[in-house]
Structure 1
Amino acid sequence: MIPRRASYRDIPLYAPSKRPCRVDLSDNTNLFGVPPSVERVLTSCVSAVPRYPQGYAPELRRALATCIGAEPEAVTTGCGSDDIIDSALRAFLEPGDTLAFQDPTFVMVPMFAKVNGLNAVPVPLAPDFDVDADALLATGAKVIYLCSPNNPTGTALSRAAVERVVDGAPGIVVIDEAYADFSPGKAFLELARSRRNVLVTRTFSKAFGLAGLRVGWGVGSPELVAEVEKARGPYKLTGVAEAVAVSVLTDDADWVRDRAAAAVACRERLRGELTALGLSPLPSEANFLMVPLPGAQAVAERMRERSVNVRAFQGLTGVGDALRVGVGPWPLMETALAALRESLR
């Protein structure tokens, strides 16, 4: 008999419906190609593969600190931004402590709460999809998780509501900004530098086009970051991933910015096409659209039969059934629209 943790018994593997498709729009990753410096750096990194990477990714921490005007001790890195979020929960919460988060939000957050033995308290978003600051603060949670732009809705949180949460929180506030590169001017990075209780997380998996290398980062006060670093361990970022991330950050900034702008343009063009089909996509500040649609799961299955993969959600709080459609170059969008039109009939 294999001993099992009772709290793990009902936890499923993360396995969204997916099959190999000609067009995959389900992951919100960068579909505009690979940053120019990646191939060069990958080739030069071959000799480093047999050895352990440097502990705690010092080169990337320095490069990120330079970009945002912070000290390296204020920056942490990890195997994707979800790794940093998970590490922060372990760093600041004991089993049984309360984690509060907006609902709906990033699907891994309630899963992290369960695997870490936490008391998970989802708090519905307001009707306008802003965060309900008073309801979150009323939970008394030691850690509050916010996501803006929010996954899966694509909506952004207001500055007033976020600052109210940060100023009133009894503990740490984690602000997940995985999609901030598609929403310039609406980010909260400065809160991580001006408030001692804020950790802002970001990723190289979306606009930066490095999802396959799993690189995330976070910024907060040095005291806060030091605790996250303890929880995450020294070798969560490979030497190859670190070298590529530094190169893209320093050499390919214009490429990243231009592709993010292209994704936003395609998103708004897609919105017009979906509206013409009688659908009502939610406002989005990310590189995807959330499209409320009764029976979304069946529509997504019919689209997969036409070799187009989108993410279906069922019974989302405040939304109901919906499709989440990532954006990429317009020819991919045309293929997806054709599959959607056929699947709606």
Structure 2
Amino acid sequence: MMPLRPDLGGIPLYAPSPLDDVSLDLRDNVNLWGTPPSALRAVQAATTELLREYPRVSAGALTQAVAAPLGIAADQVVAGCGSDDVLDACIRAVATDGATLAHADPTFSMIPTFARLNRVTPIAVPLRRDGAMDVDALLATRAAIIYACSPNNPTGTVTPRGELVRLFDEAPGIVLLDEAYGEFTDAHDLRREAAQRENVLVTRTFSKAWGLAGLRVGYGVGSAALVAAVTKARGPYKVNAAAELAAAAALTQDGEWVREVARQTCIERDRLAAAMRRLPGVTVWASEGNFVFAALDRPAKDVADRFRSRGIGVRAFSGLPGIGDALRIGAAPTAETDRVIAALDEVFA
């Protein structure tokens, strides 16, 4: 018998079902407005030398591009193969035998998986009724690592800035704040705050607002000491050369493009949310991500199948703690949003 970890069988594999028959896939919250123009040009101009050589060990051009507008040092930024790579590496960097990780429930589904893979015990803490994280309950766990996601995935709800800062102040160990959807909200941007503290890492991604999900780029901001530990745990060459080039180009040249796309995204998200609020048996949450989240009074899989029969892919959730069945539908440009709205009455008939 192959000598595998005995607990590996109990850790779920992340493997979404392919939807080959769908022409509009709104499951993954990617940027359907396109790719930043400078990033696309950077990839198209990639040379043989760029592709045949190893990339920089720690994506120095990218970390400098992240650090400069924040007014922090490049050694306070760690890049990775998506922000989930950075989160995974941070857990690995700080976890000790018998450590625990507290997280809101529901939240980003990979967090308890990353915890278990790093031999850390996850502790799920229900969201408050308003969708914010229960900071007091998270602190009460005395967990060595506390993961916070705001806007939260999959609900889109935010936790107030003051509550997050209090979490930083009172946490017994490390706080991981996931701001993957930070470009779509004005509620908080705590990257500079994290750089001034020893116990906080704030992560962001290029997979959502920045339209570079296929290149897998993300980063974390924190103290130089914490970033150095995460970098060591992450390993080298986690950001490929083309991805670093594209992400750095987007940051330095396409900021206005991304801000305009984020503005349009919020308009279309809110338009879809308003249309769904009129449906019976549907409770739309106050999402500040690039998606609509709605609790249902019927099986979510059945509703998702009805969308699928009309060529539209949506994310179905079954039995979420404190919520039940729910749907998450990514925001899309006007024509695509019109298509979803037009299907609502038939889907929910």
Cross-structure match for 2:176: 174
For 1:210, which of 209, 212, 219 is the aligned residue? 212
Q: Is 2:330 the counterpart of 1:329?
A: no
Give the letter for the 1:9 counterpart: G
Structure 2: distance between partners of 1:154 and 1:167: 24
Cross-structure match for 2:271: 269
8 Å contact kept, 1:17–1:311: no
Structure 1 residues 227-306: aligned runs within 5 Å: 227-278=229-280, 279-293=282-296, 294-306=298-310
Q: Is 2:46 the counterpart of 1:45?
A: yes
Where structure 1 has 5 or more consecutive residues not aligned to the other structure, the ranges are none
Give the letter for the 2:226 counterpart: L
Deviation readout 1:182-237 (Å, 9 max, x if unpaired): 00352222320232111000000000000000000110000010000000111000
1:200 aligns to what SS in structure 2? strand
TM-score of the two chains, using structure 1 as the length reference: 0.97
Deviation readout 1:127-150 (Å, 9 max, x if unpaired): 112221221111111110000000
Give the aligned CA root-mean-square deviation in angstroms: 1.2
For 1:344, which of 336, 345, 348 is the aligned residue? 348
Cross-structure match for 2:195: 193
Greater Cα shift, 333-342 or 170-179: 333-342
Deviation readout 1:88-131 (Å, 9 max, x if unpaired): 00000024310111111000101111211111101111111222
Cross-structure match for 1:2: 2
Cross-structure match for 2:28: 27
8 Å contact kept, 2:77–2:220: yes
Greater Cα shift, 155-164 or 307-316: 155-164
Structure 1: distance between partners of 2:326 and 2:2: 39
Structure 2: distance between partners of 1:159 and 1:239: 35
Cross-structure match for 2:57: 55
Structure 1: distance between partners of 2:257 and 2:142: 43
1:340, distance to aligned residue in structure 2 (A): 3.4
Cross-structure match for 1:316: 320
8 Å contact kept, 1:106–1:151: yes
8 Å contact kept, 1:84–1:216: yes
8 Å contact kept, 2:70–2:192: no
Structure 2: distance between partners of 1:128 and 1:316: 15
2:34 aligns to what SS in structure 1? coil
8 Å contact kept, 1:308–1:339: no
Structure 1 residues 82-93: aligned runs within 5 Å: 82-93=84-95
Structure 1: distance between partners of 2:108 and 2:290: 15
1:315 aligns to what SS in structure 2? strand
Structure 1: distance between partners of 2:287 and 2:108: 15
Cross-structure match for 1:154: 156
Structure 1 residues 100-119: aligned runs within 5 Å: 100-119=102-121
Deviation readout 1:268-317 (Å, 9 max, x if unpaired): 11111111223321001110011111211111012112210000011112
Greater Cα shift, 174-183 or 127-136: 127-136
Structure 1 residues 112-151: aligned runs within 5 Å: 112-151=114-153
Change (3 A) 1:124 1:185: closer
Cross-structure match for 2:37: 36
Number of aligned residue pairs: give it: 345
Structure 1: distance between partners of 2:97 and 2:156: 31
Structure 2: distance between partners of 1:187 and 1:125: 21
Greater Cα shift, 231-240 or 30-39: 30-39
Give the letter for the 2:130 counterpart: D
8 Å contact kept, 1:95–1:116: no
Structure 1: distance between partners of 2:322 and 2:10: 25
Change (3 A) 1:121 1:185: closer
Where structure 2 has 5 or more consecutive residues not aligned to the other structure, the ranges are none
1:12, distance to aligned residue in structure 2 (A): 2.6
Structure 2: distance between partners of 1:61 and 1:112: 24
Deviation readout 1:148-168 (Å, 9 max, x if unpaired): 000000000012321222111
